Amino acid sequence: MAAAGTVSSSLSGIVGGMGWGIAGCYCSLKNNTRTNDVLEHPSRHDLRVQHGLVIWGTSVYATRMTDNPGQSTARVPATDRAPEPGRAVARGALLRWLLSYGTFGVPQAAGPIVFALLAIPLTGDPGSGAAIVLVITIAQVVGAVPVARLGRRWNAVSFLRVLVATRTLALAGVAALAAAGAPFTLLLVAAALAGCVNGAAFGYLRSVLNYFVEPARMPRTLGMAATLGEFTFVAAPVAASVLGTIDPMLALLVLSLLGGVPAVLMPGISHATSRAPATGGGSLVTPAILLWLGCTLANSAVVSSIEIGAVSLAMNYGYAPAMGFIFTVALCVASVGGGVWVSVRNRMPGRRAVAGYLVMMSMGAGLAASQLSVVATVVGAVMVGCFMSPLSTYYSLRLDALSPPHRKAELFALARTMNAMGIILTSASLSLTSLAGTQALATAVIVMATIMVVVVSFAGRSCRGI
């Protein structure tokens, strides 16, 4: 009974917190509309908007922000599959998508802890859990684009459900094999299957958003998604620790089922298909796409250098390893603030503004890498976190606009792969070199991305398509 109560309270904490956050986000989306937006009953939502924004943490300063008259704000690029008249989707589809997005990342966020706890009774070494995480990550990198390509002829939502269900069954298989005392190699095989479909599943999850949201509302929605992603990153490891102390196999099973929610919750869309053009073409290897994929990798490298190196940073300053949380908390809180700002503002920044964001992130990365003091490192982490959501939202919008209509899921899967590559880069560097070398490498990568974007931003008309 006590164990059941703990499981119930852990799940209710995750789902309840996510539900309140989404409620505030969704009310904000329904009410804070631009000139083109149409509302059925605007007067009924005013109090819910205020309540939702308070829950969501929106500050008075953010709601008063206006554009700088000296800078132009780029229009949100239209997508090929914006909601069309006569092709309605299920009521509350966006809310269900947000819930699906928030729960999709639970297994990945909880993985490092739950796999370490799972490995202890099998091998006696919690470090073996890192091998499972590594196998999942490598399988994701290898399988993202090929698996996403398999779904071209499928309905996008149907294929997403298949991929999510496959991942859930594979992770449940890991738990079952661990419970049966199977050889550790078999666990790695099942984990590889889960990783192989993970990147493609994310690609389809992101691509179907174009069927639910008009282009003008896309920045706000992606800001909400980024905020929910940060909530998942914070809450899932806590749930994994609580449930893992009861039974690691139970923890993995419960969190895997939670990650399988999109397979059930995602609303069906009969017209969610994209046909290849008769003329062929539609390459994903173009200078513009490569630029923003490279920036995605750079962002991931900088963020992961702080998250993965948090314990080492604390020990460098003479603190206990557990004090490393101060750096990750600073990063996450700042990232949530950035996501709220993106959602409230609901505009796509111009290229020069994006170049400015990258300059600030580079400065934050350099400040954290300098290791001058705890305060300086925390300030650097906050600077990096503040621009995580605005930049990731911009990259997603640009890739959406640049992608061939029939290859959006593949491109978003590739973006997820580049994010994983950034994590692999910093993890490998931290294993082979030192913390200082790893942070210097991450700073160099983001500076290179910044230089490229600055050059493009000030290059004039020749680079307008980028």
pLDDT band at 68 (very low <50, low <70, confident <90, very high): very low
Q: Considering only 36-45, 272-281, 365-374, which range has the smallest mean pLDDT?
A: 36-45
pTM of the model: 0.75
Tell me, what's the pLDDT at 77? 53
CB atoms within 10 A of CB 26: 20
Please give the residue range of the domain that contains residue 459. Answer: 281-466
**Other CB atoms closer than 10 Å to residue 287's CB: what's the count?**
10
Which comes out higher in pLDDT, residue 219 or 28?
219
> Do residues 229 and 316 both lie within one domain?
no
With 80 as the cut, is the pLDDT of residue 184 above it? yes
DSSP 8-state symbol, 167: H
Q: Which of 4-18, 53-67, 175-189, 198-212 is predicted least confidently?
A: 53-67
218-246 vs 93-104: helix axis angle to the nearest 10? 40
Q: What is the mean pLDDT of the chain?
A: 79
State yes or no: pLDDT of 87 exceeds 60: no
* CA distance between the termini of the chain: 58
Q: Which of 253, 274, 295 is the last residue of a domain?
A: 274
**pLDDT (tens digit per residue) in 404-463:** 888 888 999 999 999 989 988 988 888 888 889 999 999 999 999 999 999 988 775 555
More confident residue, 439 or 12: 439
Residues 248 and 157 in one domain: yes
- Final residue belonging to a domain, choices 274, 305, 336: 274
Q: Encode pLDDT of 293-319 as tens digits.
A: 999 999 999 998 998 888 888 888 988
CATH number at residue 429: 1.20.1250.20
Least reliable range by pLDDT among 162-171, 203-212, 360-369: 203-212
Last residue within a domain, chosen from 274, 291, 311: 274
**Confidence check: pLDDT of 210 > 80:** yes
Same domain, 301 and 218: no
- Cβ-Cβ contacts under 8 Å for 103 (sequence gap 6 or more): 18, 232, 258, 259, 261, 262, 265
Q: 202 with 113, same domain?
A: yes
Instruction: Give yes or no: residues 321 and 352 share one domain.
Output: yes
Please indicate, yes or no, if residue 30 is contained in any of the structural domains: no
Output the pLDDT for position 272.
Answer: 66
How confident is the model at residue 301, as a pLDDT? 94
Instruction: For residues 378 and 8, give the distance between their C-alpha atoms in angstroms, rounded to a whole number.
Output: 35
Q: Work out the average pLDDT over 344-362.
A: 91
Stronger pLDDT, 365 or 47, i.e. the higher one: 365
> How many structural domains are present in the chain?
2
Query: What are the φ and ψ backbone dihedral angles of 180, each rounded to 5 degrees?
Result: -85, -5
Q: Does residue 175 contact residue 252 with C-beta atoms inside 8 Å?
A: yes
pLDDT of residue 282 exceeding 80, the answer is: no
